[in-house]
Structure 1
Amino acid sequence: MKKRVLSAAMTSLLALGMLLAGCSGSQTTQAPAEQPKTETPAATPAPEPAKSGPKQLIVGRGGDTVGLDPIAQTDGESFKVTENVFDTLVGYAEESTEVVPSLAEKWEISPDGLTYTFHLRSGVKFHDGTDFNAEAVKWNFERWSDKSHPQHNKEGFEYYNDMFGGYKGDENHVIKSVEAVDAQTVKFTLNRPLAPFIQNLGMSCFAIASPKAVQDMGPEKFNENPVGTGPFKFVEWKRNDTITLEKNPDYWNAGFPKLDKLVFKVIPENTARLTALTSGEIDMMDGVNPDDAQTVKDNKDLQLILRPSMNIGFVGFNVEKKPLDNPKVREALAYAINKPAIIEAFFAGLGQPAVNPMPPSIWGHNGNIKDREFSIDKAKQLLTEAGFPNGFKIKFWAMPVARPYMPDGVKIAEAIQQDLKKIGVEAEIVTMEWATYLEKTKAGEQEMFMLGWTGDNGDPDNFLATLLDKNNIGGNNRTRWANEDAHKLLMAAQSATTKEEREKLYLQVQELIFKDVPMVPLAHSTPALAAKANIINYKPHPKGSESLEKVDFQ
């Protein structure tokens, strides 16, 4: 049948998984028209003289990277770095999750939503000088999906499992085959329609690595010495201190990057990081304490930058551990947590109470669910009904680092600890190094715990299925909640052919989650960052990390 070229608006709809079927002919997606740029509001000091010599940007952050092989990571601190070393097949617009071309210049989708054909950029090289081509794309997906592949991680790849229904041979695995049609064309054939397939491909974890580098070094060494096609090349990693990148002079996006060197520096405390920025030790920082936001705004040498909100901070319950296997106990704890007081005390106007596991900025959010009001009496009543009139003891795992969705994990945990004490629940706060925290909560060692999530792609599936579907236990489903009704709805939503169908299903899922209480959603934050006033062209992305290829000094 005759192919038709879609407009930029319809391209966006496709990218959001809204139109997978119901159209005659195949669909061709090309680069959308250039969108107007919106500058981040900032202070307006007198311009400083341009820097002479090499341009180096030092970015202060609260925690170290876990690893530098993007497919093996799920944490934001890792992606802050890997997004500058690697590229994905498709990307997102500068300040939204609209899908745009990246390593693939355009693509076609069959009417049944089962075949995706990508046309790749020509002349792109990996940092080791090898060619980026269709065979490299195929090799990466085979490595991720095939447990028998020599470079597949022994423990698997968490994000691949979560977003593509398991691995090759699994019942729900989405990708049937990846074919290199020719050097610049790669075709994906799916076992079943997956509405957010295109959205998923833009996620930081699905960046394309140099096959030669992974084979030569092996996965463990590659995880510390990444080789991609991105705007910056890896130079050095000093654990818990700095990661240094340098400009890729052969980057395919001509004229970029603007910086010669990019350094990510760990300064754990938010206040100490702000002091480092003020003194000139660093040029930019994330994790501004909400109470310090006005201080930054009032400093003519700095600019305050607000990241668009697309996150959730929550208290989770490992439903496999007693007494948290009892829904009445979980609901009692939900009533006992004074959510408004926590937000007032720790978010300083840069957060809003959360009712659902995904924020209102994501389509499909159920705004009709009325949240539980803080009530010690109701909490005590439920505990009595559950057989715990005098409460119980529990270990409460608190996040050791500040994250965009949780400005101060330990202090918030201490506030919740005092709330729970009022109903007879003695919560012992447990904390540990961040990478260990993630590893142990993934393994299900925790009881009650704190975590959060920043959306990767703007699709409801990335919150609801990723965090709470039974298929993702042992991955990002740290609550280990395995509700069959929710699972059926989530699987149906993945394969639904219209946005309207998917939305109805997601509204139902959120009702089930609220009723069964595998987690207590606390807040959706608006993360604050700060930078020197002379830094320009920085666009904070809702997903929590971004390429810094366009950043420059004024």
Structure 2
Amino acid sequence: MSNNTHPRSSSVQWDRRRFLKASGLTAGGMGLVSLIAACGGGSGGGADGGTVTLRMPFLADMQIPDPDIMYEGEGVQVMESAYEGLVRYESGTGKIIAGLATSWTVSDDQLTYTFTLQPGVKFHDGTIADATAWTKSFERRGKINQGPAYMVAGVAATDAPDPTTFVVTLAEPNNAFMHYLACPWQPFAVSPTAVESHAVAGDLAQEWLKNHDAGTGPYTIAEFVPGSHYTLKAFPDYWGGKPTFETVRIEITPSVSTQKLQLDSGAFDIVTKGFPIPDVLQYQQNSQFTVVNAVGGVGEAIWLNPHSGIFADKVLRKAVQTALDRAAIVETAWGGLTTAQEGMWPDRTFPAALAPFPSEVDTAPLAAMVPTLASNKVDLAWGADLGAPRQQMAELVQTQLAALGLDVTVRTMPTAEMFDLANQPSEKRPDMLVAFLGGDALHLDTTFRILLRTDAKPLNFYQYSNPELDDLMDEAVRQPTPEQSDAIYQQISGIILDEAIWIPLCLPPNSTIAHNYVTGIENNAFFPQIVWPPTLSRS
């Protein structure tokens, strides 16, 4: 696929000019030096009886940490700490690199994938993560059949000819398959012994895995207390070497303001997302902190409800599509730190030139339609998982539409509620939703497969269905060359643009903020809210 195996680097440096420009967007609170003094700032990297502990927050509870069920953003840090896949994305480049597989080959017919495994890797129960364990892990994901199960749905067979050789045979070619295996929700190695030992009534250990783990990662799940905290303990037999931090303590802290106070006081060592931009920029100017800025493969967009409410009218959706000044919305909300997307998709997954989004603003069609509407009321929700910049984008959309005669109400939508939209009646869903737009991997197939495919849940929020698109997305992944699949993705993009179900906004920058004694921060190339656990260290 175009630029999929080696996406370009996305490191971001925010300069003084941008700092001054953005710092007036929201109140950043008192100066950091005063705040740290007021909170009794410490040296961080807390010690519990000599145990080096890394402390960090989550904005909300994650789903249960079952490796074949967990399918959201908030808990991926836990999964990447306890479990590992065959391959992964290299930080900063998106190149697919070795994980538990040291090398791999693909047959000429693109059906057979042969992986050479790292020898001697132990699960947390002490058993060996060999090729047979991988066959069982693939089998479990398919049987659990939750959101990420599509990644193995095309597997016809697996084989373990010897302990360090794992063979996967697909039913038909799939040029996205290696990206499935590299993404944050990838198939993980799961101990067959643990699954068998803790299975109850054939549940494949689902009940036990609600608060335990069966992985190979650098950390084990020691405590999982919903609504309170999760504690991870270093695995002493980790094949990659003992982690620097012996304990990772994750506190559920829904308030960004509280997270900031805790970070400034030294109660938290690192925060991986969610701070308002003016605060981020102030931390960047403070020598006591390190700020790592990165973008990934997921954009921001406006979703329109095509089935009920005011936007069931396609003509009205198309009028809104051109009426909004996306450049002004993004410029104001992000203070010049990112720009409106030129293309329909994040540019790390598909070139903007092949699927451009109209940049010209034309308010006339919408202004002409508004007086003829039976109702001018619009319910606009924004997903709470991104934080302040998304809220401001929603409010700016409200302002622009109000100027054209629409009565727009803005509300916050908690992540759990957003992930349940697909199960709600159409009339219970908001007319507009400002949320993420992107798939599971640096390959456009996953965007379509999880956000648009008929009956896909939970991320096809409005349960859009188009059998023609379903067939086209399947056809695209079977193509032997990038040029052939790109041509089909262009066709899909044209259909979606005509349907006017999404209005792309921008590729948001993500900021990881840490005390400067925390080193080795490597953000995931697709989902930069994740930091790679084995490289984290302290100076």
CA change 1:492–1:373 in 2 (3 A) is same
**1:361 to partner: Cα distance:** 2.7
Partner residue of 2:381 out of 397, 400, 405: 397
- The alignment's TM-score, normalised by the length of structure 1, stands at 0.81
Does residue 1:158 correspond to 2:155, yes or no? no
Superposition pairs for residues 105-144 of structure 1, below 5 Å? 105-144=102-141
Partner residue of 2:165 out of 166, 181, 185: 185
What corresponds to 1:416 in structure 2? 397
Superposition pairs for residues 542-553 of structure 1, below 5 Å? 542-544=525-527, 545-553=530-538
Would you say the 8 A contact 2:297–2:348 is kept in 1? yes
**1:89 to partner: Cα distance:** 1.4
Structure 2 unaligned blocks of 5 or more: 17-42, 200-204
**1:69 to partner: Cα distance:** 1.5
What corresponds to 1:241 in structure 2? 228
Spell out structure 1 runs of 4+ moving beyond 6 A: 12-15, 38-43, 48-52
Superposition pairs for residues 69-88 of structure 1, below 5 Å? 69-88=66-85
Structure 1 unaligned blocks of 5 or more: 1-11, 19-35, 147-151, 168-173
Q: Secondary structure at the match of 1:230?
A: coil
Q: Secondary structure at the match of 1:71?
A: coil
- Cα distance in 1 between the residues matched to 2:78 and 2:324: 35
- Cα distance in 1 between the residues matched to 2:354 and 2:369: 26
Does residue 1:450 correspond to 2:431, yes or no? no
Q: Secondary structure at the match of 2:420?
A: helix
What corresponds to 1:213 in structure 2? 194
Count of residues in correspondence between the two structures: 496
Would you say the 8 A contact 1:314–1:450 is kept in 2? yes
Does residue 1:306 correspond to 2:287, yes or no? no
- Cα distance in 1 between the residues matched to 2:439 and 2:93: 11
Would you say the 8 A contact 1:41–1:305 is kept in 2? no
- Give the aligned CA root-mean-square deviation in angstroms: 3.1
CA change 1:318–1:182 in 2 (3 A) is farther
Would you say the 8 A contact 1:267–1:273 is kept in 2? yes
Structure 1 stretch 315-324 or stretch 222-231: which is displaced more?
A: 315-324
Q: Secondary structure at the match of 1:412?
A: helix
What corresponds to 2:99 in structure 1? 102
Does residue 1:341 correspond to 2:328, yes or no? yes
Q: Percent identity?
A: 22
| 1:491-536 deviation per Cα after TM superposition (whole angstroms, max 9, x unaligned) | 2220111122222222232222222211111221111221111211
- Which amino acid letter does the alignment assign opposite residue 381 of structure 2? W
CA change 1:220–1:355 in 2 (3 A) is farther
**1:553 to partner: Cα distance:** 0.9
What corresponds to 1:361 in structure 2? 348
Would you say the 8 A contact 2:521–2:532 is kept in 1? no
**1:59 to partner: Cα distance:** 1.8
**1:186 to partner: Cα distance:** 2.2
Would you say the 8 A contact 2:524–2:531 is kept in 1? yes
Would you say the 8 A contact 2:222–2:231 is kept in 1? yes
Q: Secondary structure at the match of 1:353?
A: coil
Would you say the 8 A contact 1:277–1:283 is kept in 2? yes
What corresponds to 1:30 in structure 2? none
**1:346 to partner: Cα distance:** 2.0
**1:456 to partner: Cα distance:** 3.7
- Which amino acid letter does the alignment assign opposite residue 340 of structure 2? P
Partner residue of 1:462 out of 436, 446, 453: 446
| 1:108-138 deviation per Cα after TM superposition (whole angstroms, max 9, x unaligned) | 2211011112222222221122332222222
- Which amino acid letter does the alignment assign opposite residue 426 of structure 1? D
CA change 1:71–1:42 in 2 (3 A) is farther
Q: Secondary structure at the match of 1:226?
A: coil
What corresponds to 1:509 in structure 2? 492
- Cα distance in 1 between the residues matched to 2:12 and 2:329: 32
Would you say the 8 A contact 2:89–2:524 is kept in 1? no
- Cα distance in 1 between the residues matched to 2:162 and 2:129: 12
